[in-house]
Amino acid sequence: MNENKAINLLLKANPIEHYVFEDTKDVRLFNENLKNFVDEYTYGVLQTEKVVSPKEWIIPTKYLEMDIEEYVLNMCNTKEETDRVCLELAMFKWHDLYPLLGLCIYISDIAEERSLILGVGRGSSVSSYVLFLIGIHKVNPLKYNLPLTDFFKEIPIDGKTI
């Protein structure tokens, strides 16, 4: 199952808080037995390449309608942090990922509410200071001087992507 299909399942079928996985074995079993977890319609949707619109996600509306910029900028304490967040938010916006940031905040809130650990960090996502502030990972990319280009592979410059 690819990442889009997994996200679609969680957001279309049931609110994410219905799914609590204890370890990677549970996640593997979930993926292997997907048909047993969802109704026939949802399983059919997951077998296509249809991407579910954020308007169809079953998460509290406040996370889809929240002011992402205000939320994240309020966590900044220095000019360096503010500058990095502004740059990243521009990239998230350019890639049309603001709804995904709302989802990440929701997931982080659910994890905190249930005393779950999301993880230290994995892959290029640890290069995102915004994801660090939201609580998706524990690696501060400013502290370790991780370049944003590790996370965002396409960067718009003068109307072109590089």
Mean pLDDT for the stretch of residues 126-152: 91
Mean pLDDT for the stretch of residues 65-76: 96
Q: Tell me: do 135 and 111 sit in the same domain.
A: yes
d(CA 78, CA 95): 26
Q: Tell me: do 87 and 102 sit in the same domain.
A: yes
Q: Tell me: do 18 and 72 sit in the same domain.
A: no
Residue 79 is part of which domain span? Answer: 61-161
Domain count, the chain: 2
Mean pLDDT for the stretch of residues 43-69: 75
Q: Tell me: do 78 and 134 sit in the same domain.
A: yes
Predicted confidence band of residue 142 (pLDDT cuts 50, 70, 90): very high
**What does the block give as tokens for 18?**
């219905």
Task: Provide the pLDDT for residue 35.
Answer: 59
H/E segment holding residue 12: helix 3-13
Nearest to 103, CA basis, from 57, 49, 52: 57
Q: Tell me: do 39 and 103 sit in the same domain.
A: no
Model pTM score = 0.65
